Amino acid sequence: MEWSSPAIVLSLSPYGEGDQRAVVLTEAHGAWHGLARGGASRKGAAIWQEGNLIAARWVARLPEQLGTLTGELVHPAAALAMNDTLALAVLRAACAVAAGALPEREAHPAAFLGLARLFAGIAIPDAALPALVRFEIELLRELGYGLDLTGCAVTGTTDDLSFVSPRTGRAVSRAAAGVWESRLLALPSFLITDEPANFPACRDGLALTAHFLARDAFGARHAPLPSARVALYDLVTRRINGDTNAG
C-alpha cells in the first residue's frame, strides 16, 4: 500500500530515537498518520516542521498499519514564520485546529486548499490573521457546520449584518438584534465585505469561529479547543490592550 501527494505537516511527536510520528494533510487522502524516520535529525528537522508543504510518500504493507512517511520540502512555511511571533502563532493554531478537527483518512479537499493558501501567504504582513479566520469559516463549512452570513435570520435583510446567533450560526442585523445584542457574537465586516481587517475585527473573528469550533467540530469529539488556538486569541487580545511585548 502506498500513495504520493503534496501534503501539509500538521503535527509531530517524538517516536523512538530520532524519529517522528507525523500527521500530514493531503487533498485526496485527508489527515494521515505515519512514521517519519529521521524526522528529528538535523537533516530531517528542516523538512518535518508544522506548516511545511512537502512532497510526501506513504508506504505500508497493510492499509491499517502506521506506515512510513518520507518527504521533500516544497514550501518552508515554518521557516518563513519563525521570526514573526504573530505569524508563528497563526501557523501553530491553524495546524492544531486542522489536526484536531479533521477525521483521519477522510478527504476534505477544501480544507487542504484553504490551509495551503493560508500558509502560502504566512509571511505577508497583516494577511495571516484574517486569512486564518476565513480558513476556519471554510473548515466549519467543510465539516458540515457552515455559518449562514448571507442575510439576517430575523428580517431577511442583507444590510448592516453585525452579529451571529451563537445557537443557529445565522447572521443578525444591528436593527434586529435589539435587547439580545449582548447575547450575540460580533460579526466582523471583513468576512462579508471588502473592508480591511484590523486587530479588533480579527479578534471578533477568532471569537466567532472559536465558539462554533469548540461547540461543534471539537465538541463532537469531546475535545477542547487546541491550546495553540487559545494562545493565539490571548496574544491578539494582549496586543490590542497595548502589550507591545506580547509573545
Mind listing the pLDDT tens digit for each residue in 146-193? Answer: 999 999 999 999 999 999 999 999 999 999 999 999 999 999 999 999
| Mean pLDDT score, 207-229 | 97
Nearest in space to 135 (alpha carbons), one of 79, 85, 94: 94
Q: Which amino acid is at 73?
A: L
| The three cell numbers locating residue 230 | 487559545
- HSE (side-chain half, CA atoms, 13 Å) at 135: 29
**Nearest-CA neighbor of 226 among 7, 9, 10?**
10
pLDDT (tens digit per residue) in 18-39: 999 999 999 999 999 999 999 9
